[in-house]
């Protein structure tokens, strides 16, 4: 029992795909895992599959017992939880999150985490996920080799930032520090706009025509459509919250995409297929270089 008391403890608040996968991954790191979810069924399932060691029905107890707290909740709920964390987390504790936007979260955290002795808030965003949702879709390898952006608040001590970085690195992740606004502009382009585009493709390709036409379109879609549209199967509610929280940056990213699409469309319209081939080759080279980067990590 003394050994267990001396183990570092991590509270995972929210036990869906991301929180459940984090709990499973932390099981390989020799930490005590505390969990919380609103539904009793979710807490029981999380304990049953080994995603947490203990799951509490009230978040205050989970917060009070943890050295590190990870908020794996929808973005609006993360923001709602921050005052609760500031009130109930112990001095010296570190709170982080896995939300895919950072400016609103970090801004609110700077308002409520004001004690010089902590707890401290350090935002983080692992670039990992699938189109599925819920605890039943969780798996421990979700974060393997993922890039994680760290967005500290102005009043977070360096040792608190390093603790969050170390947690992710123990899960085989690669961390980079970035200010919250730059993060939101970046992921609007690399992630958020992609989900909008994937949804638009699905609506255009599968949503037009009568039943007979729809059947032919279903038959005409194969691996290319499956690969390109996969993320259109993501949670509509979650993506509404993400896009709503990062609206200006998402619109800016979509304008950039539209310019590239219009340029390719104009090359096709003019019959400039040499130009089209050059641009297609440039796109291929850029994607291939990204694949090489991923291999080298």
Q: What is the pLDDT of residues 197-239, one digit of tens each?
A: 999 999 999 997 788 999 999 999 999 999 999 999 999 999 9
Q: Are 31 and 144 found together in one domain?
A: yes
Same domain, residue pair 23 and 110: yes
164 and 84 in one domain?
A: yes
**For the chain, what is the domain count?**
2
Residues 277 and 140 in one domain: no
Question: Under DSSP, is residue 183 helix (H, G, I), strand (E, B) or coil?
Answer: helix
Residues 225 and 259 in one domain: yes
Helix (H, G, I), strand (E, B) or coil at 78: helix
| Chain mean pLDDT for the chain | 95
**What CATH number does residue 266 fall under?**
1.10.3660.10
What is the structure's pLDDT at 123?
98
Question: In this structure, are 258 and 115 located in the same domain?
Answer: no
Could you tell me if 291 and 246 lie in one domain?
Answer: yes
Given 178, 202, 217, the domain boundary residue is: 178
**Whole-number Å distance between alpha carbons of 137 and 207:** 28
Instruction: Give the residue from 178, 213, 239 where a domain finishes.
Output: 178
> What average pLDDT does range 72-77 have in this prediction?
97
Q: Which residue segment(s) compose the domain that 269 sits in?
A: 183-296
pTM flag (> 0.75): yes
Asked whether 228 and 198 are in contact (CB, 8 A), the reply is yes
The per-residue pLDDT for 5 is 54
Strands 120-126 and 147-152: antiparallel
Instruction: Clarify whether residues 12 and 141 are in a common domain.
Output: yes
Number of neighbours of residue 126 by Cβ within 10 angstroms: 21
Residue 194 CA to residue 191 CA, distance in Å, equals 5
Measured distance CA(15)–CA(83) in Å, rounded: 20
pLDDT higher than threshold 60 for residue 292: yes
Are 103 and 246 within one domain?
no
Q: How far is residue 175's CA from residue 47's CA, in Å, rounded to a whole number?
A: 29
Could you read off the pLDDT of 149-176 as tens digits, one per residue?
Answer: 999 999 899 999 999 999 999 999 999 9
* 93's tokens: 């504790």
Average pLDDT, integer, range 130-136:
94
* Domain CATH for 63: 3.40.50.720
Tell which of 149, 178, 207 closes a domain: 178
Give yes or no: residues 236 and 107 share one domain.
no
CA distance 217 to 205: 7
Which pLDDT score is estimated for 46? 97
**Are 153 and 244 within one domain?**
no
Q: Are residues 15 and 126 in the same domain?
A: yes
């Amino acid at each position: 029992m003394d050994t267990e008391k001396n183990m570092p403890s991590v509270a995972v608040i929210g036990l869906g795909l991301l929180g459940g996968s984090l709990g499973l991954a932390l099981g390989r790191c020799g930490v005590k895992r505390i969990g919380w979810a609103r539904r009793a069924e979710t807490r029981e399932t999380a304990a049953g599959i080994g995603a947490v060691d203990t799951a509490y029905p009230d978040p205050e107890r989970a917060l009070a017992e943890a050295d590190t707290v990870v908020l794996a909740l929808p973005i609006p709920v993360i923001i709602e939880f921050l005052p609760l964390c500031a009130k109930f987390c112990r001095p010296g504790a570190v709170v982080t999150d896995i939300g895919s936007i950072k400016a609103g979260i970090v801004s609110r955290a700077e308002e409520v985490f004001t004690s010089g002795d902590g707890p401290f808030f350090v935002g983080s965003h692992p670039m990992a996920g699938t189109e599925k949702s819920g605890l039943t879709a969780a798996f421990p390898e979700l974060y393997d080799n993922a890039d994680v952006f760290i967005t500290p608040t102005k009043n977070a001590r360096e040792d608190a930032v390093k603790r969050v970085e170390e947690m992710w690195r123990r899960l085989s992740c690669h961390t980079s520090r970035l200010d919250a606004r730059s993060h939101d502009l970046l992921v609007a382009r690399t992630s958020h706009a992609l989900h909008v585009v994937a949804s638009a493709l699905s609506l255009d390709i599968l949503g037009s025509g009568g039943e007979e036409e729809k059947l032919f379109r279903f038959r005409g879609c194969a691996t290319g459509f499956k690969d390109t549209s996969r993320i259109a199967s993501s949670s509509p509610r979650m993506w509404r919250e993400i896009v709503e929280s990062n609206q200006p940056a998402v619109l800016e990213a979509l304008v950039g995409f539209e310019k590239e699409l219009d340029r390719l469309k104009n090359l096709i319209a003019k019959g400039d297929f040499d130009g089209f081939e050059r641009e297609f080759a440039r796109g291929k080279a850029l994607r291939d270089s990204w694949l090489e980067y991923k291999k080298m990590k």
